Amino acid sequence: MTASARAQRADDAIAVSGEFAFSKADFREIAKFVKDTSGIELSESKASLVYSRLAKRLRARGLKTFAEYRDTVANDDGERDRMLSALTTNVTKFYREIHHFEHLQKLFRGPLGDAAKRGERIRIWSAACSSGQEPYSVALSILSVIPDAPKLDIKILATDLSSDVVNHGRKGLYRAEELQDIPADVRKRWITPVVVDGENQFSVSETAKALITFRDLNLMERWPMQGPFQIIFCRNVVIYFDQPTQAKLWQRFATLLSPSGTLYIGHSERLSGPAVPQFRADGITTFQLLKGAAR
């Protein structure tokens, strides 16, 4: 058998057996598309997961083959978003990695609070905010320290690749069991029970919502914001990207941070690449930009 025949046979090999034919070539093309559009790396060990999540999309769209699905995704941004949402994890919770919010409150009791009260502009970015629990935890942490924060020039930008989770965040509606990690006094003051479509839910107060702007944003694409940001949260997302992509992102964040600005990253993530010497550690997975390092 020739080398090209061998390669063809390997490509045709079934990656996962099921209702739809799913060859190794199908998997590789989907993995390449996902990597190119979102930075997310899918190893071959994820083939079953990719198959089961996308088989639902094929059924929903009435398609018969993965080749048809790839064509659909290439020509339909909505389906592209749904595919990326289906293949990414949106797991999050309020006050996840509580030490970051304690650190943030310390900043707002001190230099950032003082600057805001002097009328200075304070900008915070929750990059990859998922369904909003992270930016709301930021807003609630600030409000706990500065209850009249909405009257000051403090704004939180919350962005994610998936418009579904961004819309969820914008609505600010959560179920009772999702509120467990919000301190009781904060819950009492800024979270209100509501009934939505006959279901008991909880709404984040308009005061907290007023601090946040939700937007779709793919970290792999151009960022329209000029900065500077005093604070950037980018947690539990770069772990899905390869090393060069991670290093590039840390550098882009360094460039957008103000002198002495703070970057919070996820518990299993590490700074890497040219950004490393521009930061000093200031707590667990908390990094302060050395004054004016990147600008």
Return residues touching ligand SAM (CB under 6 A).
38-40, 88-92, 96, 128, 130, 134, 160-162, 165, 218-220, 235-237, 266
CB of 265 to ligand SAM, least distance (A): 9
Q: Among residues 192 and 268, whose Cβ is nearest to ligand SAM?
A: 268
CB of 264 to ligand SAM, least distance (A): 9
Whole-number Å distance between alpha carbons of 45 and 246: 22
Of the two residues 1 and 91, which places its CB atom closer to ligand SAM in the complex? 91
- The least distance separating ligand SAM from the CB of residue 246, rounded to whole angstroms, comes to 12
Q: Which two tokens stand for residue 69?
A: 């699905």
- Which of 11, 28, 53, 187 is an active site residue? 53
Residue of 26, 96, 160, 235 marked active site = 160
Please, what is the end-to-end C-alpha distance for the chain in angstroms?
A: 58
Instruction: Pick the closer one to ligand SAM by CB: 85 or 230.
Output: 85
Residue 209 or 235: the one with the smaller Cβ distance to ligand SAM is 235
Distance CA 51, CA 124 (A): 37
Active site residue 160: yes
CA 226 to mean position of chain CA atoms: 19
Handedness of CA 255, 261, 266, 269 (dihedral sign): positive
Nearer to ligand SAM, 42 or 115 (CB): 42
Look at the block and give the residue holding tokens 């390449």: 32
Burial of 10 from C-beta contacts in 10 A (0-12 / 13-18 / 19+): exposed
Q: Please state, in angstroms and rounded to a whole number, the distance separating the CA atoms of residues 125 and 138.
A: 10
> To the nearest whole angstrom, how small is the minimum distance from the Cβ of residue 150 to ligand SAM?
23
Nearer to ligand SAM, 57 or 235 (CB): 235
Cβ-contact 263, 99 below 8 angstroms: no
Active site residue 295: no
Catalytic annotation, residues: 53, 160
